[in-house]
């Protein structure tokens, strides 16, 4: 056994580690890190949302089956590589896809299937609350779902005792604590960045708005307590330990950090919590987070206002659709290869096809595509129809085809960013990228740089993602020095000396993306017609 292997084995057995688990849209990932925030082992579990009765959802059974599988995969790796059985750890953190709607009665029973961020069924409520608060309330926020349920006259509303996000739910079941990290809490109900709590004035407005309904609750009583990064958010109970690790090896009493959303952990995992920094997480969905120097001049329905895990104001442009459609096309190419008797690995296919996009004409040769598998609030669609469109004059080549698929994956995101860059004059020094869009080195960065006209960097740890980010937050809770800020902890203890690659925007690519966006915007009428005429 090498000295390094022995060091890690001893760290695991002594509990000088932290564990982060993130429930993403297509994968639940678990990461164990050491006290220096370096990954020791990881595990994962693939899952997919279901479209049931008009709602995108995951079942509670799927949630716990996935968490247990991901944790077990990580624990198996630790035992195989280091000969250590995980009985304890210094701290644990959970994060998950933000927002959505999970409501429970006083017995802890889920009152309606989990309504995820992907649903665009709350436009009436979103619009009404945005006007009432003079503050953007996106469709996927919990409060929009709650008010839409009220407008719909749904009977479960009177029975609600607790409303939270997916991360908040998992944390509650494991610790018994109804708490939430401030970043994820912002997606439940707007937070006041000065008081670091739910906005009292908006709470009062909501109570007045719904007073005639005479519900047996006040909104504030339904919401989890807001906590800041670094605060202790409870301990793993005996029941929670068995729920996470049914083998019985994991002991209770482990402290947990505040549960956060994937936007917050993305900021941590890319060291993007300072003013004039931004990051883009691009995978099944795509969202850009920009830490603001000042408040925006007005409310925009296309832009969310959230916070960093320490409560600083962040503008968020979130698109529901990103990689799903081009993943499907690459799957088609894989099928074609099999029909030809060829064996090509999925990695080779992705590398080949994504790099082909770089050889396409700057504006994609006149091709147009929409990867709308679900609705897209930034461009005001409640449903989606994936489309590929061309005119007789368009130049249909493989390179142009792949290029337009990667361009359109960022089309809705760019629509939102144009508001920040053009209308609000927001400045960014650099964008840090992470997620599946950047997994193949080069193409994702170059196209993102073209879409944003901003340098794009990818850290060597970009593949670790939000699970690593929440593990860092868990370690920060137990390892920070007195008065040590999260920013200092990240810069000095996590990212000091870390290698990153930076790609500058190419002027031809930028001009090509601008030309594509004009076509994309005009062509939204085609997408609308498809929704109206294609079931």
> Using one digit for the tens of pLDDT, what is the confidence trace for 461-502?
655 678 999 999 999 999 999 999 999 999 999 998 887 899
The answer to whether 240 and 255 have CB atoms below 8 angstroms apart is no
> CB neighbours of 533 closer than 8 A, spacing ≥ 6?
none
CA 165, CA 459: separation in Å to the nearest integer?
A: 29
Look at residue 28 in the predicted model and tell me its pLDDT: 97
Look at residue 505 in the predicted model and tell me its pLDDT: 96
> CB neighbours of 24 closer than 8 A, spacing ≥ 6?
96, 97, 262, 283, 284, 465, 466
Q: Reduce the secondary structure of 106-174 to three states and give it as a string.
A: CCCCECCCCECCCCCCCHHHHHHHHHHHCCCCCCCCHHHHHHHHHHCCCHHHHHCCEEECHHHHHHHHH
Residue 45 forms beta bridges with which residues? 28
414-423 tens-digit pLDDT: 999 999 999 9
The sheet with strand 430-434 has its strands ordered as 304-307, 313-319, 286-291, 277-282, 430-434, 456-459, 500-503
Q: pLDDT category, 235, cuts 50, 70, 90?
A: very high
Q: Reduce the secondary structure of 60-103 to three states and give it as a string.
A: HHHHHHHHHHHHHHHHHHHHHHHCCCCCCCCEEEEEECCCCEEE
Domains of the chain, by residue range, sit at 324-408+508-533
Look at residue 398 in the predicted model and tell me its pLDDT: 98
Q: Reduce the secondary structure of 482-532 to three states and give it as a string.
A: CCCCHHHHHHHHHCCCCCEEEECCCHHHHHHHHHHHHHHHHCHHHHHHHHH
Q: Rounded mean pLDDT of 6-27? A: 95
Residue 522 dihedral angles phi and psi, to the nearest 5°: -65, -40
CA 288, CA 178: separation in Å to the nearest integer?
A: 28
Report the percentage of the chain scoring pLDDT > 70. 99
Specify the pTM. Answer: 0.83
CA 535, CA 238: separation in Å to the nearest integer?
A: 49
> CB neighbours of 134 closer than 8 A, spacing ≥ 6?
299
Look at residue 114 in the predicted model and tell me its pLDDT: 97
Residue 377 pLDDT > 80: yes
Q: pLDDT category, 299, cuts 50, 70, 90?
A: confident
Residue 167 structure tokens: 């991360």
CA 401, CA 464: separation in Å to the nearest integer?
A: 30
CA 326, CA 447: separation in Å to the nearest integer?
A: 14
CA 310, CA 187: separation in Å to the nearest integer?
A: 15
120-150 tens-digit pLDDT: 899 999 999 999 999 999 899 999 999 999 9
Query: What burial class does residue 339 get, using C-beta atoms within 10 Å of its C-beta: 0-12 exposed, 13-18 middle, 19+ buried?
Result: exposed
Look at residue 463 in the predicted model and tell me its pLDDT: 58
Look at residue 228 in the predicted model and tell me its pLDDT: 97
Look at residue 1 in the predicted model and tell me its pLDDT: 65
Q: pLDDT category, 3, cuts 50, 70, 90?
A: confident
339-364 tens-digit pLDDT: 999 999 999 999 999 999 999 999 99
Query: What burial class does residue 492 get, using C-beta atoms within 10 Å of its C-beta: 0-12 exposed, 13-18 middle, 19+ buried?
Result: exposed
Containing H/E element for 17? strand 17-23
CA 174, CA 64: separation in Å to the nearest integer?
A: 11
The sheet with strand 260-261 has its strands ordered as 39-46, 27-34, 17-23, 91-96, 260-261
Q: Rounded mean pLDDT of 280-296? A: 89
Lowest mean pLDDT among 40-44, 59-63, 85-89, 425-429: 425-429
Q: Please state, as a whole number, how many other Cβ atoms lie within 10 Å of the Cβ of residue 207.
A: 13
Q: Rounded mean pLDDT of 141-167? A: 98
Look at residue 428 in the predicted model and tell me its pLDDT: 85
> CB neighbours of 87 closer than 8 A, spacing ≥ 6?
13, 15, 249, 250, 251
Average pLDDT, the chain: 94
């Amino acid at each position: 056994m090498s000295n390094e292997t022995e060091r890690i084995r001893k760290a695991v057995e002594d509990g000088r580690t932290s564990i982060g688990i993130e429930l993403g849209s297509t994968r639940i990932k678990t990461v164990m890190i050491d006290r220096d925030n370096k990954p020791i082992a990881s595990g994962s579990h693939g899952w997919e949302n279901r479209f049931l009765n008009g709602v995108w959802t995951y079942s509670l059974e799927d949630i716990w089956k996935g968490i247990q599988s991901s944790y077990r995969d990580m624990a198996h790796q630790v035992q195989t590589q280091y000969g250590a059985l995980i009985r304890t750890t210094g701290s644990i953190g959970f994060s998950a896809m933000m927002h959505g709607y999970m409501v429970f009665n006083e017995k802890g029973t889920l009152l309606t299937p989990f309504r995820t961020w992907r649903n665009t069924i709350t436009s009436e409520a979103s619009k009404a609350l945005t006007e009432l608060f003079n503050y953007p309330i996106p469709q996927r926020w919990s409060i929009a779902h709650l008010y839409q349920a009220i407008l719909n006259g749904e009977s479960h509303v009177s029975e609600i005792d607790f409303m939270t996000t997916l991360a908040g739910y998992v944390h509650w079941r494991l610790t018994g604590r109804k708490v939430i990290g401030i970043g994820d809490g912002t997606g439940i109900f707007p937070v006041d960045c000065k008081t670091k709590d739910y906005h009292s004035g908006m709470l009062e407005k909501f109570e007045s708005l719904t007073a005639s309904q005479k519900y047996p609750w006040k909104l504030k009583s339904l919401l989890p307590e807001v906590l800041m990064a670094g605060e202790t958010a409870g301990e793993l109970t005996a029941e929670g330990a068995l729920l996470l690790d049914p083998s019985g090896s994991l002991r209770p009493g482990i402290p947990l950090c505040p549960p956060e959303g994937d936007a917050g952990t993305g900021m941590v995992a890319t060291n993007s919590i300072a003013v004039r920094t931004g990051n883009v997480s691009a995978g099944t969905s795509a969202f850009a987070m920009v830490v603001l120097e000042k408040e925006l001049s007005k409310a925009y329905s296309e832009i969310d206002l959230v916070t960093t895990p320490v409560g600083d104001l962040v503008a968020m442009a979130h698109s529901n659709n990103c990689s799903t459609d081009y993943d499907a096309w690459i799957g088609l190419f894989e099928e074609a290869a099999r029909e030809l008797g060829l064996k090509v690995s999925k990695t080779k296919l992705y590398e080949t096809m994504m790099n082909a996009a770089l050889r396409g004409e700057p504006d994609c040769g006149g091709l147009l595509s929409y990867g709308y598998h679900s609705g897209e609030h930034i461009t005001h669609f409640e449903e989606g129809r994936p489309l590929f469109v061309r005119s007789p004059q368009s130049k249909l080549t493989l390179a142009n085809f792949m290029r337009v698929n990667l361009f359109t994956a960022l089309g809705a995101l760019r629509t939102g960013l144009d508001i920040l860059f053009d209308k609000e004059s927001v400045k960014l020094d650099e964008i840090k990228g992470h997620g599946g869009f950047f997994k193949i080195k080069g193409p994702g960065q170059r196209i993102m740089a073209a879409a944003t006209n901003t340098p794009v960097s990818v850290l060597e740890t970009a593949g670790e993602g939000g699970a690593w980010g929440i593990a860092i937050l868990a370690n920060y809770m137990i390892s920070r020095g007195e008065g040590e800020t999260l920013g200092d902890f990240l810069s000095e203890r996590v990212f000091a000396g870390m290698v990153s690659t930076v790609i500058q925007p190419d002027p031809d690519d930028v001009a090509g993306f601008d030309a594509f966006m004009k076509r994309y915007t005009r062509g939204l009428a085609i997408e609308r017609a498809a929704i109206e005429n294609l079931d």
